[in-house]
Amino acid sequence: MKLPFDLQQLQCFVALAETLHFGQAARRLHMTQSPLSRQIALLEERMQVNLFIRHNRAVSLTPAGTFLLHEARAILQRAKEVVAQTQLAACGEQGTLVIGFTSSASFELLPRLVQHHRQKYPGVNFVFKELLIEEQLRMLDEAALDVALVRPPVDPRHFESQLLMRDRWALAMPALHPLSALQQVPLRYLDGVSMIAWSPHSRYFHAMLDRLYELYGVSPRNIVSMLQITAMLGMVRRGVGLAVVPYAAKSHAGEGLAIRPLLIDHKWTDELALLTVLAWRRGEHDSTVHRFVATARECTASF
């Protein structure tokens, strides 16, 4: 369907409606009166209304022209805004980012990263999806996510990544538990203790803790396994058992809980460190993603 007008015709109409003089309107638009008259005539023909009453040396607006003036100004202003927003989108300053994350990243890392990026690029919107690591990487590969906050390893054939944060293991316990009096809890103290274990579906935590217990010859008594940190902390708060969690969970522990770092020999610290990386598709062309990656790199030192 052919549109009843184009933006150039609206520009000509507004100039004439505001000056009510063909000569002045033509000079404002840097054109001669003849093409201006043709554009106005074409606009009236397409809209099938008279917009102006012609006088000897000037014109005046008809009721239809008065109505159109307000609408035409709004359309032209909106057109300028669309151009500006499109240019921002092209350079990554406008758009929407779909971010996958794990529950532990939501405590401190993700809020700080998003806050920093919004300060720089307020035109960017966010969609957040809390997912398991394996699901994040699958969705990232399928372009259902733009970036993902995951634990390593990340397949370098498909993804690029940036290390964001190095966390450590900690013990979550009721606030009045005897071990809460310690600044750090030796790992050997967990031998035979009733624990809320990580579900095997959380492969990263489950496998790493199994390795940690094996290295130290510790055998906790796992009475239940859970997938989410918030659910685990709820069980701990009710005295069901203790739990080994990332130390970052301390900021969301709330009343009734104490979280103390686990004391682990230095020689195992690097091997068993809890790392969080930002991953994105290799060969990504989206400027919005690259802006976010740049922000993450700027923030890495503070994390």
Q: What is the mean pLDDT of each run of 10 residues along the chain (303 residues)?
A: 80 91 90 91 91 85 92 89 69 80 88 92 92 93 95 93 92 94 94 92 87 90 89 92 92 87 72 86 91 90 56
| C-beta of residue 127 within 8 angstroms of C-beta of residue 80 | no
Q: 283 and 207: one domain?
A: no
Q: 78 and 104: one domain?
A: no
What SS3 state is found at 62?
A: coil
Task: Note the pLDDT of residue 88.
Answer: 63
Task: Note the pLDDT of residue 299.
Answer: 84
Q: 158 and 23: one domain?
A: no
Say how far apart CA 13 and CA 233 lie, in whole Å. Answer: 67
Q: How many domains does the chain have?
A: 3
Task: Note the pLDDT of residue 279.
Answer: 97
Alpha carbon of 121 to those of 94, 110, 111, 162, 248: distances in Å? 7, 16, 15, 20, 27
Which residue in 249, 219, 216, 255 sits closest to 232, CA to CA? 249
Say how far apart CA 100 and CA 35 lie, in whole Å. Answer: 55
CATH code, 224: 3.40.190.10
Q: 230 and 261: one domain?
A: yes
Backbone angles phi, psi at 264, to 5 degrees: -125, 135
Task: Note the pLDDT of residue 55.
Answer: 83
Which residue in 28, 1, 3, 2 sits closest to 13, CA to CA? 28
Question: What residue numbers bound the domain in which 293 lies?
Answer: 95-166+275-302
Say how far apart CA 119 and CA 105 lie, in whole Å. Answer: 20
Tokens (6 digits) for 75: 């359309």
Q: 111 and 140: one domain?
A: yes
Is the residue at 19 inside a domain?
yes
Of 56, 90, 124, which residue constitutes the final position of a domain? 90
Task: Note the pLDDT of residue 104.
Answer: 84
Q: 260 and 185: one domain?
A: yes
Block residue for tokens 């031998």: 191
Helix (H) or strand (E) holding 163: strand 159-167
Q: 291 and 254: one domain?
A: no
Task: Note the pLDDT of residue 2.
Answer: 67
Which residue in 50, 140, 161 sits closest to 98, CA to CA? 140
Say how far apart CA 92 and CA 97 lie, in whole Å. Answer: 10
Q: 180 and 225: one domain?
A: yes
Task: Note the pLDDT of residue 38.
Answer: 93
Of 64, 90, 116, which residue constitutes the final position of a domain? 90
Q: Which amino acid is at 247?
A: Y
Say how far apart CA 218 and CA 221 lie, in whole Å. Answer: 10
Which residue in 153, 131, 141 sits closest to 280, CA to CA? 141
Q: 240 and 281: one domain?
A: no
Q: Where are the alpha helices (DSSP H) in 132-183?
A: 133-141
What SS3 state is found at 90?
A: helix
Is the residue at 2 inside a domain?
no
Q: 176 and 264: one domain?
A: yes
Task: Note the pLDDT of residue 216.
Answer: 87
Q: 218 and 70: one domain?
A: no
CATH code, 40: 1.10.10.10
Q: 68 and 206: one domain?
A: no
